[in-house]
Amino acid sequence: MLYVILVSSILTSLYEFKKFKKKQYVREIVFSSVLLTIGVILIILRIANIELPTPLTGIRILFQPVSRLLIEMLS
């Protein structure tokens, strides 16, 4: 399963890279490569049964200090 994901992601990136290279879209090449790499890493971690944090955990980490500050200001 891992090899299927890696091969399909490599083929997809090569296809997109050729399309973007013809039009000289450098930013799009970088952006799509970064997103594809992040996606492949997340899929591999999921297949390896490594526990990943939920997006809610990140939101809590970001907004908890702001929430505490607002509570202190309003009380």
Hey, how many other C-beta atoms are within 10 angstroms of the C-beta on 5? 14
Note the pLDDT tens digit of each residue in 7-45.
Answer: 988 898 888 888 888 888 889 888 988 998 999 999 999
What is the Cα–Cα distance from 55 to 42, expressed in whole angstroms? 13
Residue 16 belongs to domain spanning = 2-74
Based on the structure, what is the number of domains in the chain?
1
On whether the pTM is more than 0.85, the answer is: no
Q: What angle do CA 14, 22, 25 make, to 5 degrees?
A: 85
